[in-house]
Amino acid sequence: MAKIKSKFVCQNCGYETSGYLGKCPECGTWGSIVEEILDEEKKSSLIDLPDKNPPKKLSEIEMNSEVRMSTGISEFDRVLGGGIVQGSLILIAGDPGIGKSTILLQTSGELCKNNKNVLYVSAEESISQIKLRADRLEVKAENLYIYPQTNFELIKKHIEDMKPDLVIIDSIQAIYTSTIQSSAGSVSQIRECCNSLMTLAKTNNVSIMVIGHVTKEGNIAGPKVLEHMVDTVIQFEGDKYKTYRILRSIKNRFGNTSEVGIFEMGSKGLKEVINPSELFLKEYNQTQTPGSTIIVTNEGTRPLLVEIQALVGTTPYPTPRRVANGVDLSRVLQILAVLEKRIGLNLSKQDVYVNVIGGIDVSEPSADLGIALAIITCVRDVVFDSHTAIVGEIGLSGEIRAVSHIDKRINEAQKLGFKRIIIPASNEVQDNNDIEILKVQRIIEAITRAVSK
């Protein structure tokens, strides 16, 4: 009889222990430790892989040129750093229902148009459900194989037999390997399957895309372990109630990270948004109210214009409320502290709400000045000039600090018809005759300039 060994694994962080614990000592989660049984005999027979790649001198390594395959969707290619690298393992992570299966089915369709073979392993949905979606997306592909399977060993066999150009695993949480006895979706299963997929991708030189659902906390598949194992992590973000979807690269062994691709979900699936700033500013001019400004943020290599709104009013509560949507709350609190201390704005009895329009997250400090001016114009009840865009980071003494990629931001604002842009005085800029550049050193100066225009 095979020797049965068990271990206790935290389902949140992957911490392993030999006995049951109520609280994970690693991540502090209560009740997350679950017993998992490991079949030692089967596992050891699988570990015995032939050592094909002994250590080699760096100078003796031959360079193979990186083979990239276009997905046929340019926004997706951009996020991947120019296409799918052959033999890579890519994780597509996102909330359930955000559109992961949709984009990968569309990608499969596009690849098949270019005579590529695609194996779509559907571990969650039935063949007819996929067919229905494919009809809706108008995906008609000869070389697209749909395989409803949850067992890893069977999936592996078909990948090795078929050697497709791309394999899609929908999703990693729904497949299981027989070498481990815990149920599909547990940390050990996910880790083992992902590891085996990585080996499979490298040994057969097939690209594999794996879908992973995100937990409530925003961690991929519960354990962060998955992120470290794959070559590329692409996160699918967006507000489920809005139509925009943002693909963001958060790890890429073959390209730039923090690159974004923007899509719109429609009745025929996801459509690329070629000019995202236009989309984010669509409603700006019609709904001009005090407390609204336009900032130029930088997402990856692309500048984006987005609208920031602030609402300030006397609080009916004992403690005033501070709410931030799309920007970091601690950043907003810091800006409020600077406004109180440096320009004497008294907000101790005021509620402050800050919102970024369009469901996009702005994490860059270059949005500081835009947020500050939205708050100030709301307090003073003046409408901010709709032809002026703003960039600048605010320091604790009220000084405006330089931001990166200033020329790109200025050009984007000018392209979208803005007449003026407020920028930090310390930023060096190229001459641009088509847009007026207002350089400011201190926050007070920015207010005077913006409000008097």
Q: If binding is defined by CB under 6 A, does position 97 make contact with ligand TYD?
A: yes
* Shortest Å, Cβ 305 to ligand TYD: 26
Which strand (E) or helix (H) includes residue 245? strand 244-252
342 binds, among ligand TYD, Mg ion, none (CB under 5 to 8 A by kind): none
SS3 422: strand
Nearer of residues 245 and 409 to ligand TYD, judged by Cβ: 245
269 binds, among ligand TYD, Mg ion, none (CB under 5 to 8 A by kind): ligand TYD
Nearer of residues 102 and 388 to ligand TYD, judged by Cβ: 102
Residues pairing with 52 in the sheet: none
Nearer of residues 91 and 294 to ligand TYD, judged by Cβ: 91
* Shortest Å, Cβ 123 to ligand TYD: 12
Q: How far apart are CA 278 and CA 354, in angstroms?
A: 21
Q: How far apart are CA 231 and CA 220, in angstroms?
A: 15
Q: How far apart are CA 317 and CA 21, in angstroms?
A: 42
* Shortest Å, Cβ 102 to ligand TYD: 3
Binding characters for ligand TYD, 241-270, by CB under 6 A (x = yes): ------------------------x-xxx-
* Shortest Å, Cβ 126 to ligand TYD: 13
Nearer of residues 22 and 266 to ligand TYD, judged by Cβ: 266
One-character DSSP codes across 336-349: HHHHHHHH----TT
Q: If binding is defined by CB under 6 A, does position 96 make contact with ligand TYD?
A: yes
Q: If binding is defined by CB under 5 A, does position 122 make contact with Mg ion?
A: no
Answer for the pair 106, 134: CB distance below 8 angstroms, yes or no: no
Q: How far apart are CA 278 and CA 281, in angstroms?
A: 5
Report the phi/psi class of residue 155: left, alpha or beta, with left for phi > 0 and alpha for psi in -120 to 50: alpha
Nearer of residues 95 and 328 to Mg ion, judged by Cβ: 95
SS3 170: strand
Nearer of residues 137 and 369 to ligand TYD, judged by Cβ: 137
Answer for the pair 151, 140: CB distance below 8 angstroms, yes or no: no
SS3 188: helix
SS3 1: coil
Q: Rule CB under 5 A: choose which of 32, 88, 101, 293 binds Mg ion.
A: 101
Q: If binding is defined by CB under 6 A, does position 136 make contact with ligand TYD?
A: yes
Q: If binding is defined by CB under 6 A, does position 297 make contact with ligand TYD?
A: no
Peptide bond into 171 cis (omega under 30): yes
Interface positions with Mg ion (CB under 5 A): 101
Residues that bind ligand TYD (CB under 6 A): 94, 96-102, 133, 136-137, 265, 267-269
